[in-house]
Amino acid sequence: MKLFPIRGGIHPDYRKELSSEKSIVTLPMPVALYIPLQQHIGAPAEVLVNEGDLVKKGQMIARSGGAVSAPQHAPTSGRIQAISAIAAPHPSGLAQTTIILEPDGKDEWANLPEPIADPLNADPQLIRERVAQSGIVGMGGAAFPSAVKLDLGMRYKLEILLLNGAECEPYLTCDDRVMREHADEVIDGARIMAHALGTPRVVIAIEDNKPQALAAMTQAASVFTGIEVVGVPVQYPMGSERHLVQAITGRETPAKKLTADIGVVVHNVATARAVHHAVRFGRPLVSRVVTVSGGAIREPNNIEAPIGARVADLVAFCGGFAVVPERLVNGGPMMGQPLPGLDVPVVKGMSGILALTAGEIDPQPASACIRCGSCVTICPCGLVPVEMAAFIRKDNFEVAAKLGVMDCVSCGSCSWVCPSHIPLVHYFNYAKGMINAQGREQRKNDQTRILSEAHTLRVEKAAADKAAALAAKKAQAAAAAAAKEAAAKEKEKDETPA
């Protein structure tokens, strides 16, 4: 298959060999599971259970909280110990409402929805509903509710379902292992999703540094028509949605548009596997494969963990720390977020837990920019990071926006390459936050202005009405008086003797 070049990019030290040869192992059930209500982009789920309730595995314990939301299910059978606020796996470490489940050790399934018979000929709506009901979100890290993305076929003319198996983040091997060990499930999920979307073609893109996954997927796909498995160059950020679409189709997604606008929908390979489970067996998303790796982990591994297991449980399963880690990361080292601690739970979008040593992250204080231009050369979005950063440093967000900071995909390549160790992508995230906040403020002001203008208009109209009414009354009174006077005069005239 002819591939198309993507701009820029970098070749970081991948270090996937730490965990790539470790088969997926299931985590022994922890003593407690912590299931946050917000594990996805969109509205948080709404609690359906009470403290003390007994639940079965796969039972819905919180329902979808809106159009863009996802329900949560019990990852095992047990008792609801509490519903309280605990620290979320977010850099802020802020607490959020979490269902705490005490497993009973039986791991008994609830009555699951019936498998959808012959899903490849079923009504697409049925599949979308099942995916929504099963709490499936994008498992590559973004955690966008998958059912919403499967709806795109209703509004766009789609040609390709692009399954993202690039896994371009260093260290991470969870998708690699899923593709190697569960290729049939991924392919089946992909076919079901393609049917739901109405796309005639499925392309599965895998970076060339995963030859076994490529072989396994090619083998599994070979019995079907309309599915192509493609090796793509090892070039970070190949797994970025827009860039992968460009590499495969040569089409460039216009700014402010979706890939669906150019006929392509991208889903992660692990998401496809979850869809397979939901449709074929009625099983909701209650666990995921997480890569636990990094120089500070004694035995890096790929772990199928129930949602809600604490990070500490996974780390302990890997033999704990060999050395004290300098940084704990949720996700890959390029785009992952720092973890506030070990007590936070595994969530649906968590692809990796990294415990990195100082040697691996190479922390150095930022020094002055020497305008080497490396960031310009490698930016996959064609931006000029050096220039944007200079304006953001002066809090000039207007110019930064003009220079395209909102087009930045936060891949972190510029920060990685910068010889002065300037945290460029951090500047851009900061600017995006500020620009969004300003936009919100602006909208709020506009709204206030519209309301206040409407109010003024109303008041003026009321005053005018009142004045008009008064004038009318006065005129009436005057007319009446005049009439009276005239009548009186008439009378006087009459009474006056001739």
Helix (H) / strand (E) element for 472: namely helix 424-495
To which residue do tokens 């203008």 refer? 453
Sign of torsion over alpha carbons 385, 388, 391, 395: negative
DSSP string across 334-402: TT-EE-S-SSSBP-TT--EEEEE-HHHH------------HHHHH-TT---HHHHHHHHHTT-HHHHHH
At closest approach, how far in Å is the CB of 73 from another protein?
31
At closest approach, how far in Å is the CB of 237 from another protein?
11
The two tokens of residue 279 are 């449709």
At closest approach, how far in Å is the CB of 40 from another protein?
21
Kindly tell me which of 211 and 419 has the beta carbon lying closer to another protein: 419
Kindly tell me which of 97 and 249 has the beta carbon lying closer to another protein: 249
At closest approach, how far in Å is the CB of 367 from another protein?
6
Kindly tell me which of 37 and 418 has the beta carbon lying closer to another protein: 418
CA distances from residue 420 to 370, 403, 467 in whole angstroms, order as listed: 7, 22, 71
Kindly tell me which of 8 and 165 has the beta carbon lying closer to another protein: 8
Kindly tell me which of 149 and 242 has the beta carbon lying closer to another protein: 242
CA distances from residue 214 to 179, 222, 327, 334, 419 in whole angstroms, order as listed: 8, 12, 32, 23, 35
User: How far is it, in rounded angstroms, from Cα 172 to Cα 302?
Assistant: 9
Kindly tell me which of 274 and 354 has the beta carbon lying closer to another protein: 354
At closest approach, how far in Å is the CB of 241 from another protein?
12
Kindly tell me which of 69 and 253 has the beta carbon lying closer to another protein: 253
Kindly tell me which of 55 and 422 has the beta carbon lying closer to another protein: 422
At closest approach, how far in Å is the CB of 170 from another protein?
6
CA distances from residue 230 to 7, 160, 168, 425, 436 in whole angstroms, order as listed: 19, 13, 15, 30, 37
At closest approach, how far in Å is the CB of 45 from another protein?
28
At closest approach, how far in Å is the CB of 302 from another protein?
20
Sign of torsion over alpha carbons 254, 151, 290, 71: positive
- Residues forming contacts to another protein in the complex (CB under 8 A) are 7, 10, 12-13, 91, 170, 242-243, 249-257, 261-262, 327, 329, 333-338, 354, 356, 360-364, 366-373, 376-377, 379-384, 386-387, 402-404, 407, 412, 415-421, 423, 425-427, 429-430
Judge contact between 250 and 263, C-beta under 8 A.
no
Judge contact between 291 and 351, C-beta under 8 A.
yes
Kindly tell me which of 144 and 416 has the beta carbon lying closer to another protein: 416
Judge contact between 106 and 56, C-beta under 8 A.
no
Radius of gyration of the chain (CA): 31
User: How far is it, in rounded angstroms, from Cα 62 to Cα 49?
Assistant: 7
Q: Which amino acid is at 79?
A: R
* Beta strands in 132-277, from DSSP E residues, in sequence order: 160-165, 201-207, 227-232, 264-268
Kindly tell me which of 9 and 58 has the beta carbon lying closer to another protein: 9
Count of CB atoms situated within 10 Å of the CB of 66 = 12
At closest approach, how far in Å is the CB of 32 from another protein?
28
CA dihedral 362, 365, 368, 370 (to 10 degrees): -10
Kindly tell me which of 65 and 170 has the beta carbon lying closer to another protein: 170
User: How far is it, in rounded angstroms, from Cα 298 to Cα 324?
Assistant: 11
* DSSP 8-state symbol, 307: T
User: How far is it, in rounded angstroms, from Cα 438 to Cα 445?
Assistant: 10
At closest approach, how far in Å is the CB of 307 from another protein?
24
User: How far is it, in rounded angstroms, from Cα 4 to Cα 10?
Assistant: 17
Burial of 189 (0-12, 13-18, 19+ CB in 10 A): buried
Secondary-structure breakdown of the chain: helix, strand, coil percentages, each rounded to the nearest 5: 40, 20, 40
Kindly tell me which of 211 and 363 has the beta carbon lying closer to another protein: 363
At closest approach, how far in Å is the CB of 256 from another protein?
5
Kindly tell me which of 366 and 480 has the beta carbon lying closer to another protein: 366
